[in-house]
């Protein structure tokens, strides 16, 4: 494979971790960084996430592949501008919602150069300093509506993501948005709400710290996440998130109702039913490997 230059737009946790991951690919010649914050860009350079900082326009011109890793509301606003400047470059994004992003360029002449992606990986931290080299290792990446991409663009993105250790899956964008609402987005709202519940109830920080066991810590971990990343995700995926949140409140209300009725037998049955998640999450990655290259749409 010939050497390629790759440009990363947005140098936070997600973009920065891609920079570190790309370092081990022998065919990546240069990693060019773009960020609207000079401070972030310089930090990314200093941390070795990128090789050089360039303005967006120059970076696109010099790149063979453009990775867009900004918050989803920014992607919706900037993707048209990026595709305007594209000739034969491949563009892919890594936003957590897909339908609005795809729709934002649905009439663009270069839309087939764009491969919509969502890597199922992240942490509760943000900014270039949060970047992790192995963030994407053995994680799944969803590619949405692959039939609408140029074949060479799709193959390039598949090659790069596979080479950094990701497993690929393929989904319709609307279906993706609904499914991530309940496998990812609702977990964040739940954690934010749990943290607020505790903060409202307990005014002694010392006491929270002392009583917080590992269980509580893992439940509220996502409440540390950056609102600048997450508010746009909830906005872009509002309908699906509302639906799942409503269902979640219904389930919690069922638990409340059983407590009111002192029906601990049915309470127990519901917990046993929830235990089922253990069997599903304990599966081995390897069981899925044969699916990696099966495009399901």
Q: Is position 27 an interface residue for its own copies (rule: CB under 8 A)?
A: no
Asked if 268 is part of the footprint of its own copies (rule: CB under 8 A), the reply reads yes
Neighbours of 190 (CB within 10 A): 17
Residues, the chain: 297
* Contact assessment for residue 55 and residue 82, using Cβ atoms and an 8 Å cutoff: no
Joined together, the tokens standing for residue 195 give 């943290």
Nearer to its own copies, 26 or 214 (CB): 214
Interface region with its own copies, contact rule CB under 8 A, candidates 11-19, 101-109, 144-152, 196-204: 196-204
Cβ-based nearer residue to its own copies, 85 or 187? 187
Interface with its own copies includes 198 (CB under 8 A)?
A: yes
CA dist., res. 58 & res. 28, Å (int): 18
Cβ closer to its own copies: 152 or 255?
A: 255
Distance CA 87, CA 293 (A): 28
Taking CB under 8 A as the criterion, which residues in 236-255 touch its own copies?
238, 241-242, 244-249, 251-253, 255
* CA–CA distances in Å: residue 190 to residues 88, 181, 187: 43, 12, 5
| Nearest residue (CB) to its own copies, 6 versus 245 | 245
Q: Which residue's structure tokens are 């990314």?
A: 44
Interaction between residue 148 and its own copies (CB under 8 A): no
To its own copies, the closest distance from the beta carbon of 141 in angstroms equals 10
Q: Is 67 helix (H, G, I), strand (E, B) or coil?
A: strand
Residues 92 to 131 in contact with its own copies, rule: CB under 8 A? 120-124
Crossing angle of helices 173-180 and 238-261, in 10° steps, is 30
Q: Give the residue with the Cβ less far from its own copies, 80 or 190.
A: 190
Contact criterion met (CB below 8 Å) for 10 and 37: no
Nearest residue (CB) to its own copies, 155 versus 270: 270
13 binding its own copies? (CB under 8 A): no
Residues 121/135, Cβ–Cβ less than 8 Å: yes
Choices 74-82, 144-152, 157-165, 225-233; region in contact with its own copies by CB under 8 A? 225-233
Per-residue binder mask for its own copies (CB under 8 A), 154-193, x = binder: -------------x-x---------xx-xxx-xxxxxxxx
Told to check if 37 binds its own copies by CB under 8 A, we report no
Compute, in degrees rounded to 10, the torsion defined by CA atoms 250, 254, 255, 261. 150
């Amino acid at each position: 494979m010939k050497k390629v230059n790759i440009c990363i737009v947005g140098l936070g946790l997600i973009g920065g971790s891609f920079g570190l991951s790309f370092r081990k690919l022998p065919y990546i010649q240069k990693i060019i960084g773009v960020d609207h914050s000079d401070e972030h860009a310089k930090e990314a350079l200093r941390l070795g996430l990128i090789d050089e900082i360039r303005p967006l326009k120059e970076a696109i011109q010099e790149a063979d592949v453009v990775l867009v890793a900004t918050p989803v509301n920014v992607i919706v606003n900037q993707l048209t501008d990026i595709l305007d400047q594209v000739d034969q470059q491949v563009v892919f994004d890594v936003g957590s919602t897909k339908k609005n992003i795809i729709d934002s360029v649905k009439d663009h002449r270069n839309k087939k150069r764009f491969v919509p992606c969502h890597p199922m990986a992240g942490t509760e931290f943000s900014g270039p300093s949060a970047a992790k080299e192995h963030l994407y290792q053995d994680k799944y990446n969803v590619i949405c509506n692959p039939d609408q991409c140029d074949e060479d663009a799709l193959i390039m993105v598949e090659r790069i993501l596979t080479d950094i250790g990701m497993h690929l899956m393929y989904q319709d964008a609307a279906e993706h948005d609904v499914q991530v609402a309940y496998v990812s987005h609702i977990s964040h709202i739940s954690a934010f709400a749990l943290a607020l519940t505790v903060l409202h109830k307990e005014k002694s920080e010392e006491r929270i710290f002392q009583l917080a066991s590992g269980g509580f810590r893992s439940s509220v971990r996502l409440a540390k996440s950056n609102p600048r990343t997450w508010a746009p995700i909830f906005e872009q995926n509002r309908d699906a998130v509302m639906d799942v949140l409503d269902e979640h409140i219904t389930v919690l209300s069922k638990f409340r109702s059983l407590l009111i009725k002192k029906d601990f037998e049915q309470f127990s049955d519901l917990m046993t039913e929830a235990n089922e998640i253990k069997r599903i999450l304990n599966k081995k990655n390897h069981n899925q490997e044969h699916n990696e290259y099966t495009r399901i749409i």
